[in-house]
Amino acid sequence: MTLGRTASSNAVKPATGKRGVRRAWIAAVTASVVVVLLPVLLRLDGRPHSELEHFFGRFHVLAVHIPIGLLVLVPVLEITARYRPVLREAAGFVLALAFAACAGSAILGILLAHSAGETGVTVTRHLWGGVVLTLSVLACLAVRPLWLSFTAPRAYPLALTIAMVALVWTTHLGGSLTHGDHYLTEFMPAPMKKLAAFGSSGSAPAASFYAMHIDPIFQSNCVLCHGANKREAELRLDSYTGAMSGGKDGAVILAGKPQQSLLLQRVTLPASDKHFMPANGRPPLTSREIDWIRAWIQQGASQSATSLAGVNLPEEAKEPPLQPVGDYSALVAEIRAMQAGQGAKLLSVSNQPSDGLILSTSDTGRNFGDAQLAQFEKFAPYIVEAELGRTAVTDACFDTLAKFTHLRALHLEGTTITGAGLAKLAPLTQLTYLNLSGTQLTSAAAAQLSSIGNLHHVYLFNTPAQPTPAAGSSPSPDGSK
């Protein structure tokens, strides 16, 4: 990394300034020692710890973005300062802020992993990546004065390069923990996937009931927290062996004993229970998925059995084949402008325009309502997923959504929807997923769902229309169709 500097930045500081610098260095070194010692003192043993520790640790998810932005800005300022020397001092200030943000984020991350009982290769690497990043930024602060004084012209560019590499590596690991290993490769073209040998390599027979029905449930709902990268409670569900081995609480699957199997107990708890799984606000398992797990355990939890004798299971619904959307290339400029802004965004599903767009409102919250949704009508034929959860949309939104002819998934959870006008979605033949959890959906409105012919995944948890289980049956945690 080639950086310019000027001798004028090497001005002598008064005595009071030197005392301030000395104190700052003492604080920086102390923070670095804490960052290094915490992983040793708070070993990741796979067991949850203090709730207060977990409360503070969760702020890591917010704090982690601060050092990323600051560190990326440092080399930009250093290079620009070759032409605008006044920016040299700003670069040093931003670097100091970046160190403080790195140290604080690393400490919060260690608290989060320890308190949540997280373990796994990726968790450990991400944790120590944060430690290395913090120390590398401290090294940048230490050698920068030598670079400014021309004493060690290569030390600072080298240290900054190492810090940027550590930043990329650590954020990549953090992304894997949040979104899973294959987040970036999920929509990779088939020939590239084959070349890179992506996909599962489990030893279960391809036609077994476990391989066809149980493992996909675990992969979709459980492996993010109970896989090779992250093993909460020392439990892995990414393989048959791991599932049957159990975790820190012992076996979670007892063959032939579904009611005594901890795994089944956890997925059928009320969603408000702190032990309910899947955790962290993820969608609960559908009643069909729970029925399959219960039947599989009852019949011996076999890895190789191809069917379950004497057990009646609902036939797997065949979802309609995906229809390619039109080419939105002419609208790319507008779409990119949205992606760069702070409001609702249109995100490409893949690099193939025919795969469609996702309407994301994660940055808008209650500032996004029916009027804002109507502004997306020109993009309606290209939108395949609409994430409108926790926005201010009302039942009037169905007039606009009815024009999203290729819509496949619709999130309306946490809105004031009552379901009036829900039948207007009936012409959307591609719509297979609808989340209405936490809305005011009435039972009368829920009856209109049957008019949406290809709808297979419906979530009605915590709504007036949530189905009431029959006497003696296990409650459905999601009220799914």
For residue range 108-117, list pLDDT tens digits in order. Answer: 999 988 887 7
Number of domains making up the chain: 3
Same domain for 423 and 351:
yes
**Residue 260 falls within a domain, yes or no?**
yes
Q: Is pLDDT above 90 for 462?
A: no
**Residue 379 falls within a domain, yes or no?**
yes
What is the rounded average pLDDT of the residues 100-106? Answer: 95
By percentage, how much of the chain surpasses pLDDT 90?
35
Same domain for 175 and 42:
yes
**Residue 378 falls within a domain, yes or no?**
yes
Q: At what angle do helices 155-179 and 121-148 cross, to 10 degrees?
A: 160
- pLDDT attached to residue 8: 46
**Residue 321 falls within a domain, yes or no?**
no
Residue 77 to residue 66: CA distance in whole angstroms: 17
More reliable by pLDDT, 338 or 367: 367
Same domain for 172 and 23:
yes
Scanning 302-362, the segments in alpha helix (DSSP H) are 332-340
Same domain for 153 and 33:
yes
Same domain for 91 and 32:
yes
**Residue 188 falls within a domain, yes or no?**
no
Same domain for 226 and 105:
no
**Residue 204 falls within a domain, yes or no?**
no
Same domain for 372 and 266:
no
Tell me the average pLDDT of the chain: 81
| pLDDT tens-digit series, residues 41-67 | 998 876 778 889 889 988 998 899 999
- pLDDT attached to residue 321: 67
Residue 215 to residue 299: CA distance in whole angstroms: 16
Residue 294 to residue 182: CA distance in whole angstroms: 29
CATH number at residue 348: 3.80.10.10
| pLDDT tens-digit series, residues 2-47 | 676 655 444 444 455 678 788 989 999 999 999 999 999 998 876 7
- pLDDT attached to residue 342: 66
**Residue 200 falls within a domain, yes or no?**
no
| pLDDT tens-digit series, residues 210-239 | 877 788 888 777 877 777 666 677 788 878
Domain residues for 69?
7-179
- Examine the fold and report which residue of 253, 281, 298 is the final residue of a domain before the chain moves on: 298
Same domain for 16 and 111:
yes
More reliable by pLDDT, 190 or 98: 98
Same domain for 271 and 168:
no
Indicate the pTM of the whole model. 0.47
What is the rounded average pLDDT of the residues 176-204? Answer: 53
**Residue 481 falls within a domain, yes or no?**
no
| pLDDT tens-digit series, residues 198-209 | 444 444 445 577
Same domain for 132 and 17:
yes
Residue 120 to residue 180: CA distance in whole angstroms: 13
Same domain for 124 and 21:
yes
Q: Which two tokens stand for residue 169?
A: 């590596």
Q: Which two tokens stand for residue 246?
A: 């159990």
Q: Is pLDDT above 50 for 378?
A: yes
